Amino acid sequence: MDLAYVLRMNAGNREGSYAKNCFLQKTVIFKARDVLEDAIKDYSSHGFPECFKLADLGCSSGPNALLIVANILDYVRALCQKKNLKAPDEYQVFLNDLPNNDFNSLFEMIPSFHSKVLENESGPEKSANCYISGVPGSFYTRLFPTKSLHFVHSSYSVHWLSQMRSQEMVIHGRMVLTLLGRSIADPTSKDCRYIYGLVAKSLHDLLAEGLLREEDINTFNLPIYTPCTSELKAIIKSEGSFSLDRLETFEVNWDMQDENEKLKPEYSSGEFVAKTIRAVLEPLLASHFGNTLMDKLFEQYAKHVSEHLSKEKTNYFNIVVSLTRK
């Protein structure tokens, strides 16, 4: 299985799409905003370039990609106003994801981004100053010219595999990464074991009903790694090109309907979590087990999640790091 061709989020803007089910990732972006804002503040001590070049790695096809761009532009503008700094004249924004990502849906949102975010805040003449393009390819390959990026952001993407990149960033360039992690060194910790363990449990339900073969389950791997903070620090140190400026952790409830008044609690906890996870894992699971089993699989999953949450409130454990290119 070539991961680069099967890994993608559910496309489009329909009911089960990633775009409609990315509340978790949006909440994570919100909770990591202080670290992002501080990284921009630190970067400004070297002065902003005329053209500020930034990349979002693993941007996916939902609204979060442009939310990140809007946030970064806001932070830069507010900072420049507050500290009387020269703001960048232009922004060049690279939205990266794997080639099968639904870039079309993402591109369709760009005109309204330009009109709402840029024109509202700075007058129509400013809207031409942010140039956004898509960069299809794995962020574990070279995507950008040497020393071309000033700022790299990635949220909820790099836990899919584990490497770091450095050649494409300018000296003093900044990188902010937010990823799913685990709170303790024990790799069998409950942080991620439950969320994916219940997928395994649901697959075994299908096996028991004769809908799957054991070897189908045994040959399936979920290519996700959730490090603990000490592992992440060790990777950054051994890779050597970045200094670690800040590392924070925070948790987000599996069922955000509990905490977010903006989310009408129209689903059971199990259904809500199942929709979030389905939007992310369905293409990968369907490529191995077949499309026809997906409804049944996620019905089982929703039941297991509800049962689990009725006994124990459970959180996603997240790590956000801010790094400087040495």
Residues that bind ligand SAM (CB under 6 A): 7-9, 22, 25, 29, 58-60, 62, 64, 96-98, 101, 138-140, 155-157, 160, 280
CB of 139 to ligand SAM, least distance (A): 4
Rg value, the chain, Cα: 20
Nearest residue to ligand SAM, scored by beta-carbon proximity = 58
The set of residues, in sequence order, having a beta carbon less than 8 Å from that of 217 and lying 6+ positions away, is 200, 203, 204, 207
CB of 244 to ligand SAM, least distance (A): 21
Q: Indicate the residue among 62 and 134 with the shorter CB distance to ligand SAM.
A: 62
Q: Indicate the residue among 48 and 316 with the shorter CB distance to ligand SAM.
A: 316
290 membership: H or E segment, kind and range: none
Q: Indicate the residue among 58 and 173 with the shorter CB distance to ligand SAM.
A: 58
Distance, in Å, from the CA atom of 251 to the CA atom of 91, rounded to the nearest integer, reads 32
* Total residues belonging to the chain: 326
- Dihedral over Cα of 69, 75, 76, 77: its sign: positive
Distance, in Å, from the CA atom of 303 to the CA atom of 274, rounded to the nearest integer, reads 9
Q: Indicate the residue among 159 and 325 with the shorter CB distance to ligand SAM.
A: 159
CB of 226 to ligand SAM, least distance (A): 13
CB of 207 to ligand SAM, least distance (A): 27
Own/partner pairs, 161-165, CB within 8 angstroms, 24+ separation? 161/3, 161/223, 161/225, 162/225, 162/227, 162/235, 164/235, 164/236, 164/239, 164/241, 164/242, 165/139, 165/140
Q: Indicate the residue among 159 and 304 with the shorter CB distance to ligand SAM.
A: 159
CB of 280 to ligand SAM, least distance (A): 5
